[in-house]
Amino acid sequence: MRRTAPLLLLLAICCTPVLCTGKKKLLETLSFDIKPSGQITHQKIKLENGVTCVFTYAAVGGTNEEWSMSMKKTGKTDYKCKVERPEQASYLYFMSFAISVLEHHVEKVEVFDNSGALLQDEDYEITKDGQSGIIAIVLSLYPQ
């Protein structure tokens, strides 16, 4: 049985219609508080060129936590959207979360635990909606 994980440190998505080339440049950052209300909440970064990264989540447990969201340009038309709790482990339980990047397709997803270790494919499931570009990830603390 798969369970939603109570831990999440970093979610990174590279949206790449072509191969990544060029120098990395930070384009936009956003700091926000995640409140453990259980309500579905959205955070969004929209760049001047219209590329938009949206993080949708519902979390419970613990207290408010400061998180950040950033988008980097990694190539001529390539972007990386990252959501993380900087410098600390999270004590929130994410009931659900999804990330979408509008105007691009998602090529790569990386999920890290509180210790910074990259999770293996069997530790989470990815659901893609080809129409909307939404990526939903379900983590498991109890891999089979």
Residues in contact with 35: Cβ distance below 8 Å, sequence separation at least 6, in sequence order: 41, 59, 64
> Is 4 among the domain residues?
no
pLDDT band at 36 (very low <50, low <70, confident <90, very high): very high
Residues 97-123, mean pLDDT to the nearest whole number: 77
pLDDT band at 8 (very low <50, low <70, confident <90, very high): very low
> Is 5 among the domain residues?
no
Q: Specify the number of domains making up the chain.
A: 1
Query: Is the model's pLDDT at 113 over the cut of 60?
Result: yes
Q: In what order do the strands lie in the sheet with 93-102?
A: 41-46, 52-60, 93-102, 134-139, 124-129
pLDDT in tens, 43-92: 999 887 778 888 999 999 888 999 999 888 777 777 888 888 887 888 88
> Is 101 among the domain residues?
yes
> Is 115 among the domain residues?
yes
